[in-house]
Chain A
Amino acid sequence: DAGVTQSPTHLIKTRGQHVTLRCSPISGHKSVSWYQQVLGQGPQFIFQYYEKEERGRGNFPDRFSARQFPNYSSELNVNALLLGDSALYLCASSLESGEQPQHFGDGTRLSIL
């Protein structure tokens, strides 16, 4: 079975631009979470979605938004990109909300110039 898949794998943007990152969870998994991992740090929680509803939000500005589709895939959107948004963006899925463990994709590496 396929694991969590994310696209694109690598993206280069300039300051002020907008970006959309995509995630497909493991088949049968209904919960999707997004994390930001800056070099040398552990992942930081951004959002969790379950059954298309937001179930959790981390300490990130309103420039970050997300949504989940009926097929449980998800998008993370970031507006007005800043240099500090350069990071590895990870998607994780689990069967249900509140259920552990979560399984991660290989992420999208976002570079801001």
Chain B
Amino acid sequence: QKEVEQDPGPLSVPEGAIVSLNCTYSNSAFQYFMWYRQYSRKGPELLMYTYSSGNKEDGRFTAQVDKSSKYISLFIRDSQPSDSATYLCAMNGYGGATNKLIFGTGTLLAVQP
């Protein structure tokens, strides 16, 4: 079993739709949760960063962490064609020992104009 599970998609939605992306994980030690967006032939770009449980909002993006269910989500409101990319969840729980991130496989999102 992988430490982090993410549906690879692809996910296709019309412009303006609300998008929900999810990851589940098995390691209860994870405390830092991140969402990265990766365009083709580019590196991952940090979108959202959350420590422990709770919600965080930034513009059209909302990140949710439910540690009791070991489940994290990213919501995109009013989706735009420019949101078409691969979305990666990433987690870390090793404290100061190491920066090692565990990634999901990524979900490919296509927003149709």
Contacts and interface: CB of A to CB of B under 8 A. Distances in A.
Of the candidates A4, A31, A41, the one having the most CB atoms from chain B within 10 angstroms of its own CB is: A41
Contacts of A103: 46
B25 interface: no
Interface residues of A, number: 30
Interface in B81-113: 88, 90, 92, 94-106
A90 B96 contact: no
Contacts, number: 81
Contacts of A35: 101
13 contacts: A35-B101, A41-B105, A55-B99, A56-B99, A97-B96, A98-B94, A98-B99, A101-B46, A102-B101, A103-B46, A104-B44, A105-B43, A107-B43
Interface string A15-51: 0000000000000000101010000111111001010
Nearest to A50: B99
A106 B44 CA distance: 7
A101 B49 contact: yes
Given A43-B44, A90-B43, A105-B43, A100 B105 contact: no
Contact of A100 (B32, B42, B43, B106): B32
